[in-house]
Each structure stands twice: as structure tokens, then as C-alpha cells.
Structure 1
Amino acid sequence: MTDLTAGPVRRPGRRALFPEALPDPEGEAAIAIASLRFTVTLADRSITIDLTALSGRKVLAQPLAGALWRACQVGGPAGSVSTAAAYANALKFFWRYLDSTKPRVTRISDVSAACFDGFDAWMDESGLHPNHRLHRMSKVLNLFRLAEAAEPGCLPPDASRRLMYTSDRPGVRALPRDAYGDPIATALRNAARADLTTLMGRFAETDRISTLKDADRTNALQVAHERAMVVVDAEGVIGHRHPIFKQLYTLRRESGLPNDRLVYDLHGRRYLLAADLVPLMILLSLDTGLEIEAIKELRADCLKNPAGGYVEIEYCKRRARGAEWKRLRVRDGASSTPGGLIRKVLQWTAPARGRLAAVTLWAHFAWGRLTPRVLATRELVASWTERHGICDEEGKPLRLNLTRLRKTHKAAWYRQTGGQLDRFAVGHSVAVAANHYADIPALRHIHEATIADAMGDALDAALHPYVLSSEQEAALRADPDKAVGLPVSGGASVNALLSGEQDVWLASCGGFYKGPFGAEGDACPSPFWGCLECSNAVITARKLPALLSFLGFIRAQRQSLSEADWIAKFGRVHGRIADQILPRFSAAEIEQAGQLAASDPTLTYLPPEAGAP
């Protein structure tokens, strides 16, 4: 039996080891502040921040340079080189404002709240977009906050209080990034799949000479090709100035073979090329919904916990401060699954990663060298869509925006889940799912149709006749005082209603001179089929022949009216009779009423408004 009063059990562990000497960052910070120039490395990328253009106000620039240096350290607000560059550009923009309007502000103690407000107004008057203005304003204020945190009291009290908010000028709600429609998504997926098949065939035949038929493969050309591949295998790449490459180039030219893609053909036998990354990333984004920036930064060890035909993709979402590293569980198997696709990419990029000693997934050949990360893709994407002839909704060449692929995946998942936000919100909160991924133009027709259906259901519930089955009618005849829900009450009124004294063509009326569509005391102004949506109407088996006669008439009108016109005129009343009234009666009653309608020509009489356009 366990002694609950005993203390915690100590478990043996390993001794924690720390480096004997950690580098002191203060020396590096001092150099950065003094020179207004420093290099930072963020997310395995480096950038040089050059603030020497601010040296005209060096006393003011130095504490802000120190603030920017701290912002670029681990845990700082600048999580990527692009954000660090945006901070530097915003600070330079603030300097332009000072040079034009505040020449006497030379040190941080000279900065006032009016200075910040003036910078905000100056950007507004210059025509800068409100959202761009807010972004630059927030970055400048963040640097001043960091500077004040490093040296409390350096700012005047009014300027310190002004740092509590960004701006009192409104921004503009950004238009939501829309998803691509299903035809475009299908075209993108088919084109990417076709390229994937081509890639698999290319890596399966690594020893063949590209674009050379067996009949034209001379011995000298074969030897030159093999020697070039030996250089690639030994040195990693072969340049266009290499003697063996020049020899192969000459032999191909003398054989009448094209050389415009010779470098890519040689290296494409061992490595992925920059153009190969486009269809792979498109396919991965469409299948998983991962952000394109997260796909670009995937690591070689991103696949975790494979089990039961599924695997987790570990990725980094840098915008999720404090929870950047996330995992998404996806299907795993053949190349048609996200897990299988990543395994193929791992196989194809292994030689380049081995030579670069890189941990990134997308190591490939580009610009004459091996590179561990995805470079600029805009031109490659434009070339890819043009090569496949992909067009937009208007039939024009598609200008593909890779960031819209996540929305495209999310829109398809939204339709699949029926708009259930608890199932739709994967990778973010329900509020973000609703505001950023569900409220987009591509899904607006679904929301509008849902609202229209809901309003129709509400109208159907509010305006409908009272349908009495034969059993209910017999019970009321036996005891008229127990009528519940009818538009009349009392034995005499119920007997009059059931006897046919108050019949109109399609129903029995509980109050022809007290209808909901006109003033009390006046005859009902509604057309004859309006009885089917009137709370005064009572439908009994006695009215089935007239209802069936009218139902046959409106179905025959399909031959003379267009589908849209027929739905607008008769769709609602057709649904009322066929879906709500007739199911309340037995098949025998409906068959007997149909025979009576066919034998009684007076039931086929229709008022003039029935055929009116």
C-alpha cells in the first residue's frame, strides 16, 4: 500500500552542463550603437542593418540603434530579417520627418508627444495608406519603448505617456484575401500533379542524356555527358567555365542539340531545381492548408510521430508569438498524400542537404550553386502558370498568389464541414477562423444561401395552413369543442368550417372577412393559392381533388415557362402542396381524390390570375 504521507520520490537524473564562458552581448551592442551598423541572424538568415544615414543626429540615433539591436535578439519583436528591415525603414522614415519639420530634435530627451503626433499627421498628409501609416508608427514607437526600458526617464513625461497607444487616427479594415474557385484549384492541382509525375520519371532515369534519342547518342557525346556527371558528383556543381562542360557544350551544338538548359539538365539529374519547387509547394499547400511561408521554412526533420497511415508535420508559424512551433496531422503513404510528398522531397533533396550540411527541407540548385532555402519565387510562379496555360475566372492568364492557396484549402474544408466552426478551426482560434477564413468572398454565396433558407423556413413556420388528416377531422366532428390550433373555436364555428359552408377553392376558410392580408370587414384580397400560406386556411381531405387538379396545372406550366420564371411563380406553392400537405394523407385517399379530379371537369376551372405572366 502506498504511503501518501511520504515525501516526493527523488529520481536519478543527469547533471546539467553549461558552457564555461558565454559571450557577453554588451560588447556587441556597444559596437552596434557606436557604428550604427550591425549584422543580425534571424531564422537562419542574416541581414546587415545600416543606420549610418542617421548620423546627422547621432546622439538621438544611438539609443534607437541599441533598441533595434535588442529587438533583433532572441525573444525580441523582430522575428525575421524582413521584420528587422521594416523596423530600420520605419526609423529612417521618422528621420525624414524630423529633417523636414523638427530640426532642433537632436537627442532623445528632445522628443515630445507632439513630435509623435506630428509624425502621424505628416504621414497621413503625405497620402500614405492608413494601414501602412499605422505599421510604421507602431514600429517607431516600439523602438522608443525599448529605448526607454533600457534607460528609464530618458523621455519627457508627456512622450512617455504617448507611447501607450499607437494612433488616434483610424485605419482601414483590410480586404480579406480571397480563395481561388474550385475550377482554378483543380487546374492548379492537376498541373502540379503532372509536374510531380515528370519529376519522379526524371529522378528514375538519372543516367540518360537529356533530350537525346538513342539513335543520336554518339560515343563521344555519351562519354562527355558521363564525365560532366562525374564532376557534378565529385564537386557538387559544374560551372559553365569548366573545361568538361565546355566540351559537352560544343559536342551538343555540333550534334544540333539545344544547350539553353544544359546546366539545369545536368544538375537536375541529382538535385531539385528552383522551378521544381513551385508545383511541390503548391501541391503541399492545397493538400494541407499550411501557410506558404511555413512551407518554405520546413526542416528536414519535420515529419513526426508516424502511425496508422498518418504523420505530423512540424512547422514554424512566426506570427504566433509564444507558440511558433506547431504540428499538423496529415495522411501518410504514397506521393498522393502530404506525408508521402514530403518523403519524396526528402529523398530528392538529400544530396544537396548533405553537401550543404543543411537542416532545411528545400535544398536545391539555383543560380549556379546549391542553396539551402527557397529564393525569390515570383518569376518562377508566373512562368509555371504560363507554361501550363492556367487562366482565371475571366479567361485571362492567372496571376497566381501563393498566399491565397491556404484560403483555397480552407474554403474547401469549410464547405466539407458544413460551416461548423469547431471543426473548421484547425491551426487557429474559432474567432480567427470566422473573421479571416470564413468571411471571404468565395464563401459569401454559401452564407447568403443559408440566410435565405433560414428566412424561408421562418416564413414557412409563420405562414402556413392548418392541415387536418382524416383521423383528426373525424375526431373534431365527434367533439367540436376540443378544437386546438384552428382559426375558429366553438362547436358551431367548427361544424360550419368542416361542413363546407366556408369553403374557398383550395381550402376551408376560418375568416374570409377577417384575413391577415387585408382590413377586417373586407373580402380577402389574396390570390386563390394564397390560401396555402394563410393562417385562416384549413386543409381537409375534401379539398384534395382541387389541390391535385391545381398541382397538375402548375406542373404542366413547366412546358411554357423558363425554369427561373416557374420557380418564381409556382415553386413555393408547389413545395407547399407536394411536400407539406399531401404527405399528411394516405396513398388511398390521394388516389381516390385523383380519380375524382379527373372525372369532375369543374375542378379544372382556374381563375385568370393562374395563367397571368
Structure 2
Amino acid sequence: MGAHLRPPLRVVFELPSAVIYERDLADLPDPILAADIAAGLVAATYPHGPIRTKSVASQYATTMRRLARELHADGFRGGFADMSTAAVVGYWLTCDFHRERRIRAVLSAFHTAGGQLQPGIVHHLTGRRINQIKPGKPNRPYSATEWERLAQACNTMIKGSIHDHRQALEASERGKDLTDDSLSEDRMAWVIRSSGPLAIRSLMALFPMATVDNRQRVVSLSRSLFPEPDVAFAYNLLFAIRTGIVPDGIDALRTDDVTRTGPSSILLSYVKGRTGKESLVLPRAAVRLLDQWFEHSELLRGHAGDQASQLWLGAKQATQEGGRIYFTTPRTQYRRRSWAQRAGLIDDAGTLLQIHGGRVRATFHHLKDRSAWTGRTTIDPNHSAKVEADHYLSSHTPAQKDAIEGIIEDAQTDIRRKATPPLVTNEQDAAKFSQQFPNLVREAELELPAVQKLLDAEQDVFVAACASPMKSPYAPVGKLCPARPWVCLLCPLAVFTARHLPNLLGLKEYFSTQAAQLPLPQFMGVFGPYSTRLDEDILPRFSTREIAAAAGNQQTLPFTLEEQG
């Protein structure tokens, strides 16, 4: 596995799954650059590089051939070692993301294999790409009518082909015991069945007495006995419709990937290109389809030799001389297009339906996500859509709207309040206090006398000084705040000063006692935010000297304003 060169300058790619692909570079205008490109392609082939499929090898070879021709047209002569950094970067600027990516991969592989490059180019190879990939769009599912037409076309071709196949088998069984050289259909069917799928001229040589009129009968019998690639593709496509497996995983299936776990159950192993090996228990419809395909292709596999292990196998009716058997894989871009034309498939716009494996998979999962839907748009089957709309989708009254908006405003205010840092100050004059805390003054609508009351302890509660006890967030305006002492820790109206430290420390001790007595989830649900605010925001703002003095000077302050003497 890998790649090698064949004289004069032909790259032979030996890829996984025994795939051989060749590309000639001898016709390029600059033989020196062509030789370096060939060496780079060999070095970039699996297992040492990203080239691991026939299509990828073709893309890389095409990109590098284009590079050689365009650089030669610009006047460049020489190999990779003669290319300047400016020339390479300038060429990358004319490329798209994928062409730049392929050129980088070939140059990197060439350099890794010992080839010479300019230091500037090597530096760019390890850096960021110039062209960025454009975000792709997800595959669009087929419409319901397109999906139905696609499945119907597959079923129609399969049913017709399997019917003709069974009739041809029956005819061959009847002609098995015939010894004459007559051109009866039974005898011809047996001869063709025994000989296998041959090229048309070799096939006609089996019947030297046949006339031109018999030619079509012979070809028709051969196609009935040995399924063509179009028929194999119909099975392939219908299998994708019924399973939703990735297209590359379906195309690469072999007979030993099918494990029968019961009379009507199959475990399928396949390779998903981006993730690796995966497996799937097939739905019953897919199991029946595979069983039918094995029956349909059994005779063909008996003549296929080493290729009999390929799951999707078709016999191509070639016209060349010789007795060689032609087998092809069914899924190619040309096959998809010609198959759609043969089946007469059109999309919703009236044009030829484009068969795309990614869209088939996207449609499968799209329908699967909706398969649990009951088909009704109403909750109660006894209700009409209008009745349920009146019940569940009716517009709100003005009073209900006011209530909803009030709830939203309260929630937003609560979130904003919890995010507000605590107001902690020392014993200072009112003017300086109002300058340091303009938000408190503005939001509480305080004037200088009110601020003075805060500093003079005239509005002290248990752990703080309250800026406006009659405008509490926890009670209607005009009524005294009913909140518990620890609620002040998160209240935007609370101001904490050094004189409150004794009770703050007492509250801290109270939290410690509750933490020891309550389960942790319950404590965090009730006291968690307040304890965190006290330990992390409020107490750290006081000096250690003030805290030490307050710890030995426990005082009893009133809980509310009514308790002041």
C-alpha cells in the first residue's frame, strides 16, 4: 500500500481496499517540476499522507498538474527547491481553500521525505492557511414528493429486474436437459447461465447459428440473469433510504460485513469515514431488501471470482472482443445522473432530480425525528383547532399583561440587586459619603439630611443602616420592611459601617451554627447567598484591627426601627 513511480513519469497509487489509480505527469511542460510533483504525490499517499481514496488521488493530481502549468505560463522554471516564498504565497492567493490545502500537503510530504524547500516556504507550511474554508450549508432534505418518487423508482426497477431474473432462471432450468443446438429461449438461458456474463461479441459467439434477430434476445437474457450496475445501484439507493447509513459506508460494504443474528435480523458493520467502524441492527425492511439482493446477485457472484465479496456487484455488458467478465461498482457520479434520467426522476421544480447520498441520509433522519408525531395539531382529539386556539393561544387581558410585566420587572430587579456590590463605609462626613456612593443617593432619592441620618445611626437595623426602611424591596411602599436580619446582606438599601461589625460577626456565628445543623443543600438554599456575601464581600472590606476590636465588644442593636428606645 502506498504509491510508486513507473517510467517515464507515471504515479501509481495503491490505495486501501485494493484500489489502483494511475496518473501520468510526463506531459507537463517542465520535467524538473513534474518530477518533484510526482515525488510529493508519492510521499503524500496513505499511510504517510492524506491521499487514501481514488477520488482524493485524482483531486491532488489535478491540482498539482494545474500548478505546474500555471507556474510555467508565468515564466517559472525549475523544481520545488527553486521556488521562492513570494512565488508560492502569491500562487496561494489565487487559490481557494481546498487547492491551497492540497498544495501544502504535497509540499509538506515532499519536505518530510527529504526534498529541499526554501526556509520561508517551510515556515509558511507550519503556519496558518491564507485561504479560509467557507462555512458549508447542511444537506437539504428531499421534499415528501421527491422522496416518494425516489423510493418508487427504486422499487419499480428492482421489482421488474427480480421478476425477469426469476423467469430467466426458470427458463435456464428447463433448458438444462436440452442437448440440441436449437435457439430456443430455454436453451439459450442455460448456455448463458453456464458461461457467465460475457462481452456481447463473446456472448454471441456461443450461438453461431444466431441471426441478428436473436441478438436482442441473447442480450436480454444475459441482463436478466446477471444484474447490471443500474440494478445494483437501485438496491444500493433503496438500502440507504431504509437505513440512513452514510454513503461511503454503504458503498464500501462487503459480504462479510453482514452478520445474520437470526432468521429475520442482521447486524451490519460498516466504516464511517469521520469516526471509524460502526455497526447497526438493520430494520426489518432493510433485512428483506438485503435478502432479495443476495438472491438476485447469487448467480453473478458465482462467476465473479475475487470480486464476489463486494456487496454491490453489477455485470457490465461491454462490446469489446474477448471473454472477459466486466464488473463495476455501481455508485459513481455518472451512474447517479444516468440512473435518474433512465428512471425519469424529476424534482419539484420539474428538472432532473439530483441524487445525493448526503441528502438521502439527511431526509432519513429528518423523517425519523418526526416519526413520533400523531399527525394532529390539537392536544385533545375532541377539540377543533379553533377551540384549542381559544383555550390555549388566546390573547391576554390588560390586567394579565400588567401582572406578567410586573413579574418580569421584579425578577430583573432581583437579579440586578444581587449583582450590586455591598455599600461599606467608615465614619465619615455626609458630603464625602454622597460623593463616594452616588448610585445609592440617586436610586434611593436621598438628600443630604437623609444621608446624615445614615451616618448618625438614626436608621440602624440589626446588621446595617437602612437608607429607606419605608421603600423596602420586600414590602409595599409606605410599609416598614419585614425582612429577616440576614436579608440586609443582599439589600441595595443597606449600608455597612464599622459600628455594625459586632452584629455582623454574631450573624457569621449564627450561619456557622446553622451550617452544622442543616443538611448542606438546605443550608445553601436558605443561607448560602447571604453567607457568601458576608464572608467574601463585606467583612474583607474592614481592617483586621476593626474586626478584632468588634469581636470583643458584642453589642445588642435593635432588629427593626420599632425596637429603638
TM-score range, shorter chain: 0.5 to 0.7
Q: SS where residue 312 of structure 2 aligns?
A: coil
Which residue of structure 2 lines up, in the alignment, with residue 130 of structure 1?
A: none
Aligned counterpart in structure 1 of residue 360 of structure 2, from 401, 405, 410: 405
Which residue of structure 2 lines up, in the alignment, with residue 111 of structure 1?
A: 83
Deviations 1:346-385 (A, max 9, x none): 2322332232221211222113364443256556545654
Q: Percent identity?
A: 19
Distance 1:239 1:277 in 2: 19
Q: SS where residue 310 of structure 2 aligns?
A: coil
Q: CA deviation at 1:232?
A: 1.9
Distance 1:35 1:166 in 2: 36
CA gap of 1:115–1:328, structure 2 versus 1, over 3 A, is farther
Unaligned 5+ residue runs, structure 1?
1-22, 124-132, 211-218, 253-258, 419-452, 468-483, 488-613
Which residue of structure 2 lines up, in the alignment, with residue 226 of structure 1?
A: 186
What root-mean-square deviation, in Å, do the aligned CA atoms of Structure 1 and Structure 2 show? 3.9
Q: SS where residue 177 of structure 1 aligns?
A: coil
Which residue of structure 2 lines up, in the alignment, with residue 271 of structure 1?
A: 226
CA gap of 1:293–1:365, structure 2 versus 1, over 3 A, is same
Task: Check the 8 A contact 1:392/1:398 in 2, yes or no.
Answer: yes
Which residue of structure 1 lines up, in the alignment, with residue 400 of structure 2?
A: 464
Q: CA deviation at 1:305?
A: 5.6
Which residue of structure 2 lines up, in the alignment, with residue 70 of structure 1?
A: 43
Q: SS where residue 155 of structure 2 aligns?
A: helix
Q: SS where residue 141 of structure 1 aligns?
A: helix
Deviations 1:203-242 (A, max 9, x none): 33224669xxxxxxxx999743334333323321354433
What are the residue-to-residue correspondences of 1:133-532 with 2, within 5 Å?
133-151=96-114, 154-165=116-127, 167-207=129-169, 223-241=183-201, 242-245=204-207, 247-250=209-212, 252=214, 260=216, 262-304=217-259, 306-307=261-262, 309-317=264-272, 319-320=273-274, 323-332=275-284, 337-357=285-305, 358=307, 359-368=309-318, 370-375=325-330, 381-382=336-337, 384-386=339-341, 389-416=344-371, 464=400
CA gap of 1:119–1:344, structure 2 versus 1, over 3 A, is same
Q: Does 1:97 align with 2:61?
A: no
Deviations 1:267-305 (A, max 9, x none): 133221122123212211111112333323221122126
Which residue of structure 2 lines up, in the alignment, with residue 547 of structure 1?
A: none
AA partner of residue 354 (structure 1): G
Which residue of structure 2 lines up, in the alignment, with residue 85 of structure 1?
A: 58
Q: SS where residue 256 of structure 2 aligns?
A: coil
Q: Give me the TM-score of the superposition, normalised by structure 2.
A: 0.57
Aligned counterpart in structure 2 of residue 46 of structure 1, from 11, 16, 20: 20
Task: Check the 8 A contact 1:310/1:329 in 2, yes or no.
Answer: yes
Q: SS where residue 147 of structure 1 aligns?
A: helix
Which residue of structure 2 lines up, in the alignment, with residue 604 of structure 1?
A: none
Q: SS where residue 52 of structure 2 aligns?
A: coil
AA partner of residue 291 (structure 1): V
Task: Check the 8 A contact 2:14/2:21 in 1, yes or no.
Answer: yes
AA partner of residue 202 (structure 1): D
Task: Check the 8 A contact 2:227/2:296 in 1, yes or no.
Answer: yes
Task: Check the 8 A contact 1:381/1:400 in 2, yes or no.
Answer: yes
CA gap of 1:459–1:239, structure 2 versus 1, over 3 A, is same
Q: Which deviates further from its counterpart, 219-228 or 401-410?
A: 219-228
Q: Which deviates further from its counterpart, 456-465 or 272-281?
A: 456-465
Q: Give me the TM-score of the superposition, normalised by structure 1.
A: 0.53
Q: SS where residue 293 of structure 1 aligns?
A: helix
Which residue of structure 1 lines up, in the alignment, with residue 93 of structure 2?
A: 121
Deviations 1:304-329 (A, max 9, x none): 26259542222233x42xx4433222
Rg comparison, structure with higher value:
2
CA gap of 1:386–1:160, structure 2 versus 1, over 3 A, is closer
Distance 2:194 2:263 in 1: 40
Q: Which deviates further from its counterpart, 156-165 or 48-57?
A: 48-57
Distance 2:124 2:71 in 1: 18
Distance 2:128 2:402 in 1: 62
AA partner of residue 102 (structure 2): K
Q: SS where residue 367 of structure 1 aligns?
A: coil
CA gap of 1:239–1:196, structure 2 versus 1, over 3 A, is closer
AA partner of residue 348 (structure 1): H
Distance 2:261 2:48 in 1: 32
Q: CA deviation at 1:112?
A: 3.1
Q: Does 1:56 align with 2:11?
A: no
Distance 1:464 1:372 in 2: 74
Distance 2:400 2:256 in 1: 63
CA gap of 1:240–1:103, structure 2 versus 1, over 3 A, is closer
Distance 2:74 2:398 in 1: 67
